């Protein structure tokens, strides 16, 4: 079975600084990878997804992630964060035809 580990539970950064949220996964077969964002009192919104092809994936709100098969990682990055990026971020993994499995989440706190 596949699983997801988000290596940081909380990441505090200053506005306009770069940020990286780390995600490792484990699976014995090929998987598809996703990042979701959850703002307070809301559901989850898809930021980006990796299905196949280019290992660098660009998403909404200036976020991007890089799929690294050898290191089984899918880290999320943004070169310059805004206050409005403060939210909970979830990495998720899925095998074809199976349910989406989420990590425990990383709280990104952006301060001025």
Partner 1 sequence: DAGVTQSPTHLIKTRGQQVTLRCSPKSGHDTVSWYQQALGQGPQFIFQYYEEEERQRGNFPDRFSGHQFPNYSSELNVNALLLGDSALYLCASSRTGVTNSPLHFGNGTRLTVT
Nearest CB to partner 1, comparing residues 14 and 58: 58
CA distance 54 to 51: 9
Query: Cβ 41 to partner 1, closest distance in Å?
Result: 7
Site for partner 1 in 55-84 (CB under 8 A): none
Nearest CB to partner 1, comparing residues 99 and 112: 99
| Closest by Cα among 72, 88, 86 to 38 | 88
Which distant-in-sequence residues (6+ apart) come within 8 Å of 108 by Cβ?
11, 13, 19, 21, 81, 85, 86, 87, 88, 89
Q: Which of 76, 93, 94, 108 binds partner 1 (CB under 8 A)?
A: 94
Asked whether position 90 contacts partner 1 by CB under 8 A, the answer is yes
């Amino acid at each position: 079975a596949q699983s997801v580990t988000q290596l940081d539970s909380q990441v505090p950064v200053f506005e306009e600084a770069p940020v990286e949220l780390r995600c490792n996964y484990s699976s014995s077969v090929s998987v598809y990878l996703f990042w979701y964002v959850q703002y307070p009192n809301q559901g989850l919104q898809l930021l980006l997804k990796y299905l196949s092809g280019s290992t660098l994936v660009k998403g909404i709100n200036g976020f991007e992630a890089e799929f690294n098969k050898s290191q089984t990682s899918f880290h999320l990055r943004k070169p310059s964060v805004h206050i409005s990026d403060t939210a909970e971020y979830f990495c998720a993994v899925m095998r074809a035809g199976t349910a989406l499995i989420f990590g425990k989440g990383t709280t990104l706190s952006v301060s001025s």
